[in-house]
Structure 1
Amino acid sequence: MNRDLIVFGEDFGGLPSSTQHIVSRLAHDRKILWVNSIGLRQPKLNKHDVKRALSKLLGRGKGGYSSHAKPLPENITIVNLKTIPAPRSSWARELAKSLLLSQLKPIIDKLNLVKPILWTSLPTAADLCGHLDESAVVYYCGDDFSSLAGVDHDTIASHESKLANIADLILGASPAICEKFDSRKTTLIPHGVDYELFSQPAQRAIDLPNNNKPIAGFYGSISQWLNYELIASVCLANPNWDFVFIGPVELEFNPLPKLSNVYYLGPKPHDALPSYSQHWDASLLPFKLNEQILACSPLKLMEYLATGTPVVTTPFPALEPYKQHVNLVNTAAEFSQALNHVLNKSSINSEIVRSDSWDARTQAVSRLLETL
């Protein structure tokens, strides 16, 4: 019999993380108690952070389950808990722990979770380990938190160090992440792809530009990991192309170039993305090679490949297994050459990522969980 899970992850819904992809599939044969984000950083004195902190103190998520997403599996219970985001001092950590435990234990009893596995993707859950009558602790590390912008790095490092020591199993999304932890209990679980969603033909999105020009597109966070100088140069040098960007702006201003051939379409539901990426002519990964990118395993890489659309990308380590299937560029001039090249090239074979499906990843994780 598969053991139930208590999961500490991001706020469930919207664009699903690797944790959501795996845990949603694990829910087919076990109960899941999903705790919406308990925070990775302390709020600053600005409107956005104050609002976010109040939401956490009042036990509200920032968006909840997206109505555009797939139906919520019946075995998953989602809760928003009142908490102190990323507590730093010992007294704040103790207060946050007590606050969370007082809310969690009645829910665990109500759901009849007996000796569940505690799974966390957030280091800030470290102080709860050993207090929820769990049978084992799993740390799923999908990011190098020490390189993430806007995170209280010292605070998170303290939590992560404690969690890494307590955890019975550590799952790392990239080799660089795995190297941070004890190899005897760490396993590489690379990100996967919802192959069926991205490979099955989807109708063209109505808000894609329709100017009889080829389209180059990107979806994902508009954040510090993109090379905006490179993007501006490429967009300016290729007026015969339209450039489309989809995703939330996570900076204080929109850094995309203000050009007539640049279109920012805002965030889109995850299951709507194929109606964009299947119908543009080149998928873009214009990353800045920072510490975050060196350790990352971008979900969108395999989603792009599953559509069969040519990919133009700057280099980063997670590309290695797929290098022969993408167009690698380092400069704006190489980027422009690659765009011209893909127009005269047939689509790529999406079968190259079929074996990397989230279903396959979840089967591997399930086997690991049952050995604990």
Structure 2
Amino acid sequence: MIRRFNKWRLLKDINRAIEHEGFDKIILWLSLPTAVDMVGSFNEQASIYYCGDDFEGLDGVDHKMVKPLEQELAEKVDLILVVSKVLTRKFTHPDSIILPHGVDYPLFSTPAARPHDLPENGPIAGFYGSISAWLETDILVQSAIALPSWQFVFIGDIKTDVSSLQALPNVQFLGARPHNQLPAYIQHWNVAMLPFRDNKQIAACNPLKLREYLASGTPIASTTFPAAREYEELLAIQSPKEPFSRVILRANKQREEKARRQSRVSTESWQHRATQLEALINHLSR
């Protein structure tokens, strides 16, 4: 009954928008399994499921409900796009294609002035993004204690318990910042961090910030996960049982490789991804 109500309400709103915009050739783009009932409702030329996360491993999601909906959606659509190699294993659909995230290379590679609220006393290890349960706070606490001369800076909304970090004198939480201000921060860090937990969600992720970090040229210290290993020659990646503080110090020794990091993602722009997507859609709608 809930699905029928949701479909009725969505159809009403979307059809109104279609009429207002004068659309006559519809390509249906879905990024949530819960929208499965929209497939076939608009006499669309083609339907696409854009899978950007492993919903079965995502926090705050009813995994028992979402799995059958996603399977149903995968069977109905004409094309499945996934952002990582790990996600391709979920689908047997013959038309499943990897379309990784892009990066705003000009924004992150163009030098920006140092923000006034960055600490001046010592080298900086930084992170920006949602400060959530997928961050490995234990290794961050260990690192901040092991490297007392370093400043640890976090930018983003806090959505998990970080009291153990907040208690340390060399850790600062600056709050969220607009996306276009982030390059100014990361370019003036000594090391950018990807301190993620080893779980199903992270195994399937393709974090935007990885390519943004690379485009800035800043050295990167990372835990190990599949998306990071695709760039392993450019990152300092944590080895089994290695303290993360040592990974930060290893990354800091890679300062001279800035040009290599930037060059690797210089052709992975959002415009390039859009061109790839346009070609796929044109093929589908013939």
> Which bin holds the TM-score, normalised by the shorter protein?
over 0.9
Q: Residue in 2 aligned with 1:20?
A: none
Structure-to-structure mapping, 1:1-372, within 5 angstroms: 91-211=1-121, 213-251=122-160, 253-255=161-163, 257=165, 258-330=167-239, 334-344=243-253, 345-349=255-259, 350-372=262-284
TM-score normalised over the length of structure 1: 0.72
Letter in 1 for 2:101: H
Identity of aligned residues (%): 43
- 8 Å CA contact retained: 1:217, 1:280: yes
TM-fit CA distance, 1:336: 2.2
CA distance in 2, matches of 1:262, 1:331: 25
CA distance in 2, matches of 1:231, 1:323: 21
TM-fit CA distance, 1:278: 0.5
CA distance in 2, matches of 1:237, 1:173: 36
More helix by proportion, 1 or 2? 2
Instruction: Please tell me the root mean square deviation across aligned C-alpha atoms, in Å.
Output: 1.6
CA distance in 2, matches of 1:307, 1:332: 29
CA distance in 1, matches of 2:162, 2:23: 45
TM-score normalised over the length of structure 2: 0.93
Letter in 1 for 2:237: L
Mark the CA change 1:280 to 1:347 in structure 2 (over 3 Å): closer, same or farther.
farther
CA distance in 1, matches of 2:142, 2:275: 44
What are structure 2's unaligned runs of at least 5 residues?
A: none
> What SS is found at the alignment partner of 2:16?
helix
- Larger RCO, structures 1/2 (Cα 8 Å, 6+ apart): 2
Mark the CA change 1:271 to 1:133 in structure 2 (over 3 Å): closer, same or farther.
same
Count, aligned residues: 280
- 8 Å CA contact retained: 2:135, 2:195: yes
Moved over 6 A (4+): none
TM-fit CA distance, 1:179: 1.5
TM-fit CA distance, 1:108: 0.9
Mark the CA change 1:347 to 1:209 in structure 2 (over 3 Å): closer, same or farther.
farther
